[in-house]
Structure 1
Amino acid sequence: MISNAIPINENFRLEALKSLDILDTKSQKEFDEITALAAYICETDMALISLVDNDRQWFKSKYGLKTCETPRDNSLCSHVVLQPHAPLIIKDTREDERFNDSPIILEEKPIIFYAGIPLIDKDGFALGSLCVMDSVPRELSNKQLESLNALAKQVIILFELNKKNNDLQIIQNKLKKHNESLREFARVISHDLKMPLANVITSTDLLKLKLEDKLDNESLEYFDYIKTSSFSMSSYISDVLDHYESESLIHNKPEEFYLNHLLSKIVDLLAMKPDFTIYFPEEDPIIQCNKLALKQIFFNLIGNSIKYNDKDQIIISIEINEDENFYYFRITDNGMGIPNDKLDTIFELFTTANTTDRSGNKGNGIGLSTVEKLVKNLGGYIKVSSKEKVQTTFEFSIKKSN
C-alpha cells in the first residue's frame, strides 16, 4: 500500500474529531444498526464506522469484524479523508496500483472490495468514513451508493447528538454540584439565623413585659411588629430549607401505608381549630409510595388551603383514584381562590398570587415550588384550577412503585 499523505487541514481535522468525545467509547446500538444495514444494502461481508485518528483508525462500529482499531499507515479509510467530497470506491484492491504491492488483510480476511463514504462534520472536516468491504470483487449500484451516502449523514447526526448529550450531562453534573452547595448553604444559614431570631422573639416579649407600664400603646405596638416580622422571617427560612432539602426526600424507599392515617397525622401537626372540616377519601386506601415525600406534598397543600381561606368555616376535600401505573390525588378547598393571570406561574419559585393569607401575611412563593419539585421527582404531574372567592383544586399524580 502506498503510504498515506496527510490532509492540509490535519491539525484542525483532528481537533474537530476529538471535540466529539467519541473516540474509545463503548459500542452503541444506534451505530451498530447502521453498519449492519450498510452491509445488508451493499451485500458485503463487512462494514465499519471508521474514525481516522493521529496514528490509527478506530472503529466506532463494526459488522463482520472484531478488531477495534488498526494502524493508520495501513488503512484504506485514511485515504478517504484526503478527498472529503467524494467516495472512495475500489472494485479490486489487487488491481489498484495504490494497494496492489501487498495484500490488505483484516483478521485473516483479504480486503478485495472497498467503498468508503467520507464522514463530514458541520464545518467540512472529514472525520473518517462509513465503509463496506468484501473479500471478493464487487460493484455498487447507484441506489446502493445513494443509500450508503444517506447512512453516512445519519452517522454524523448521531455524532452531533452524542456530543450534545455529553455536554448536557456535564452541565447536569455541574448543576447538581451547584445545587448541593446551595442546599448546604441554605442549611447552614437556616441554622445560624434561626437561633438569633428566636432570641429576638423572646427578648421582644421580655422587653414588652418590662416596659408595659412605661410606654404608651402605640409604642408597645412596635414590639408586636418586631415579633410578627421575626416569625415571618423564621417561616421564610424554614421554607427555603424545606425546598432545598426536598430532593433528599426522593431517595427514601417506598412504603406501604393507609392514606387516611397519613392525612390524620398531617392534620394533627397543623393543629386545626374547630372552624375546620376536612373530608378524607371514603375508602381508606392502602398505597405504596415514598411516604415522606407524599407527606410533605400534602402538608404544604393542606396548609395553603387553610392559610389562604377567607371563609368562616374552612372546608377541604381530598380524593384519590388510581390505575395500573399512577395514583391520582385531588385536594379542593373553599378558599380565596387564585387569580386567573397567576395560575400559569403559581409553581415558580418565589412567585406568589399577591394575596395575603388568613392572618394578613403575604406568602413567600416557596411552598408550591417545593410541591411541584417533589411531584415531578416522583414521576408525576401537578395542575391547579381555581375560581376566585369560591374554591381552588390541586390535582397531582404519583407514579406507582412497581
Structure 2
Amino acid sequence: MISIYPDHEENRLAALNSYNILDTANEKDFDDLTILASAICQTPIAFISLIDDKRQWFKSRKGISESETPIDVSFCVHTIASNNDIMIVEDANKDERFAENPLVKGEEKITFYAGVPLINEDGFALGSLCVVDQKQKQLTDEQTVALKIIAKQVVDKLELRKKAIELEMVNKELIKSNLFIQKFASMAAHDIRNPMSSILLTAQSMKARMQKLGDAKYEELVDININSTKRLMVLLDDMLAYSKTPALLLTQKETINLSELLMTVTGMINVPVNFNIQLPAENYLLTVSAVALQQIFINLLTNAIRYNDKTQGEVNIRFNQDDEYYYFEIEDNGIGIAMEYYEKIFNNNFTLNIVDRYDKKGSGIGLSTVKEIIKSLQGKISVNSIIGQFTTFYISLPR
C-alpha cells in the first residue's frame, strides 16, 4: 500500500486540531450535505472525511458503518496530497495505487471513488468530501461541479462551527472576567467604605465639637469634609452597582441638574487655589446616566488641571442642546495638544510622554476610558487645540 502525506503536515495537523471537531457527535448540517452528495452523484456511499496523523475519521457518513479507518488504506490521503480540486478513480482495481488496497480486495469492494479536498481559508486540506460505489462509474460534468460546490459548503460549515466555538470561549472568559470584576469591586467597596465611614463619623464629631466651641470657620471646613465624603460614598455605591450590572451605564438614566452634577464632580477632585472652573450659568435638566457623565467630567477636568502650566488656570464648561443631542464643550488654557495626536490620545495606553504639574506621567487610560463610555452611550467626542494656548473637547450625547 502506498501512503502519501501532504507537504507541511505539521501545520496542517495544527490547523485541523484548531477546529476541535475530531471525535464529535453527528451534526445534521454535515449529514444533510453528505446525503445531498450521495443523491446528486447517485452513489450508495458518501462521507465527510477528516484526516489526522493516524486515521481518516468520518464526521458524517452514509452507507458505511465504520466511524474511521486507518490512514494507510485511505483514498482521501491521496486526495488531499494531489493538489487537484477533485480526485476521481473510476475503477480502483485498475489503479496501481489502490489495486491491492484491503478496501478494494475485501468485503467493501470499493471500485469507484471521487473526492474533493476540504481546503480551509489558510490553504490547508483538512480532509475530503467523498462519494463511493462498488461498481465502475463516471461522473457527469454537472455532478462534478455539484460535488465541488457541496465540498465548499462543508468547509463553510467547518469555519462557522469553529467561529461559534471561539465566540463561546470568549464569552465564557468574559463571564469569568465580569465575575472577577464584581468580586473585586465588592471587596474594594468594602475596603474603601470602612475608612470613609470612619472619616465621616470623625468629621461629624469634630463638627459637634466646633459648634460647642462656636468656631464657625473650622465648622465650615468640617462641613466641606462631610459633604465630600458623602458624595464619594454615593459615587462608590453607583460604581459598585455598575460593576454588578454593566448595562446600568446605558439603561439607568435619570433626570439630573447639570450644575449640581458638575458641583459634585468639582467637589470630588483636587482643584488648586489658582484654578477657576466656570460652569454653565443656567440650571439645565438632563436625562442621562449620571454615573457615566460624572466619570466623563472627572477624567476631563482632572486632565485639564494636571496639564496646565499657567499662573491662573481656567476651565470653561459650556452646554447646548437641540431636539436630538446634548452638546458639551470643555475648554482649558493649558499646554495644548498637537494636531497629529488628536486621534491617538483616545487610544488605550497612549501618552504624550510628558509630566504634569505634579511631575508625574500619565497612564494613557483616562481619555480612552472617556471615549469608551461616550461610545457606549452612542455619543461622540473630538478635540481642538493650539499648543500653549487652549484645548477644547467637544462631546455630543443623544437625548
- TM-score band, normalised by shorter chain: 0.5 to 0.7
Number of aligned residue pairs: 286
Residues 143-169 of structure 1 deviation map (CA, whole Å, 9 limit, x = unaligned): 111111111122222222222222222
Partner of 1:85: 84
Q: Secondary structure at the match of 1:237?
A: helix
Residue 218 of structure 1 and its aligned partner are, at CA, apart by 4.0
Q: Which amino acid letter does the alignment assign opposite residue 87 of structure 2?
A: L
Q: Which amino acid letter does the alignment assign opposite residue 167 of structure 1?
A: E
1:337 has 2:336 as partner:
no
Partner of 2:336: none
CA distance in 1, matches of 2:36, 2:68: 21
Partner of 1:229: 228
Q: Secondary structure at the match of 2:118?
A: strand
Partner of 1:146: 145
1:13 has 2:12 as partner:
yes
Work out the percentage of aligned pairs sharing the same amino acid: 33
- Range with bigger deviation, 162-171 or 133-142: 162-171
Partner of 2:34: 35
Q: Which amino acid letter does the alignment assign opposite residue 28 of structure 2?
A: K
TM-score by length of 2: 0.62
Q: Which amino acid letter does the alignment assign opposite residue 146 of structure 1?
A: V
Closer/same/farther in 2, CA of residues 206 and 337 from structure 1, 3 Å limit? same
Partner of 1:194: 193
The question of whether the paired residues in 2 share the 8 Å contact of 1:84 and 1:126 is answered with no
Q: Secondary structure at the match of 1:170?
A: helix
Partner of 2:326: none
Q: Secondary structure at the match of 2:98?
A: coil
Partner of 2:175: 176
Residues 318-369 of structure 1 deviation map (CA, whole Å, 9 limit, x = unaligned): xxxxxxxxxxxxxxxxx9234xxx89x997994579999xxxxxxxx9xxx9
Closer/same/farther in 2, CA of residues 194 and 103 from structure 1, 3 Å limit? closer
Partner of 2:356: none
Residue 25 of structure 1 and its aligned partner are, at CA, apart by 2.1
Q: List aligned pairs for 1:230-379, cutoff 5 A.
A: 230-246=229-245, 304-305=254-255, 307-308=256-257, 336-338=285-287, 350=295
Residue 63 of structure 1 and its aligned partner are, at CA, apart by 2.1
CA distance in 2, matches of 1:226, 1:189: 22
Residue 183 of structure 1 and its aligned partner are, at CA, apart by 0.7
CA distance in 1, matches of 2:28, 2:19: 18
CA distance in 2, matches of 1:198, 1:106: 87
The question of whether the paired residues in 1 share the 8 Å contact of 2:92 and 2:104 is answered with no
CA distance in 2, matches of 1:217, 1:48: 90
Partner of 2:157: 158
Residues 225-268 of structure 1 deviation map (CA, whole Å, 9 limit, x = unaligned): 11111111111221222223348xx9xxxxxxxxxxxxxxxxxx
Residues 67-108 of structure 1 deviation map (CA, whole Å, 9 limit, x = unaligned): 211100011111112202231101122232222225526995
- Range with bigger deviation, 96-105 or 346-355: 346-355
The question of whether the paired residues in 1 share the 8 Å contact of 2:238 and 2:291 is answered with no
Q: Secondary structure at the match of 1:240?
A: helix
Q: Which amino acid letter does the alignment assign opposite residue 237 of structure 2?
A: S
Partner of 1:94: 93
RMSD of aligned residue pairs (Cα, Å): 3.8
Q: Which amino acid letter does the alignment assign opposite residue 48 of structure 2?
A: I
Partner of 1:321: none
CA distance in 2, matches of 1:181, 1:106: 61
Q: Which amino acid letter does the alignment assign opposite residue 36 of structure 1?
A: I
Closer/same/farther in 2, CA of residues 132 and 72 from structure 1, 3 Å limit? same
CA distance in 2, matches of 1:208, 1:149: 85
CA distance in 1, matches of 2:231, 2:199: 12
CA distance in 2, matches of 1:177, 1:83: 46
Partner of 1:288: none
CA distance in 2, matches of 1:3, 1:133: 20
CA distance in 2, matches of 1:199, 1:117: 75
Partner of 2:63: 64
Q: Secondary structure at the match of 1:191?
A: helix
Q: Secondary structure at the match of 1:104?
A: helix
- Range with bigger deviation, 47-56 or 17-26: 17-26
Residue 206 of structure 1 and its aligned partner are, at CA, apart by 1.0
The question of whether the paired residues in 2 share the 8 Å contact of 1:56 and 1:69 is answered with yes
- Range with bigger deviation, 139-148 or 123-132: 123-132
Q: Secondary structure at the match of 2:286?
A: coil
Q: Secondary structure at the match of 1:21?
A: coil
Q: Which amino acid letter does the alignment assign opposite residue 69 of structure 1?
A: E
Q: Which amino acid letter does the alignment assign opposite residue 88 of structure 2?
A: I
The question of whether the paired residues in 1 share the 8 Å contact of 2:116 and 2:130 is answered with yes
CA distance in 1, matches of 2:114, 2:17: 25
The question of whether the paired residues in 1 share the 8 Å contact of 2:210 and 2:218 is answered with no
Partner of 1:47: 46
The question of whether the paired residues in 1 share the 8 Å contact of 2:49 and 2:56 is answered with yes
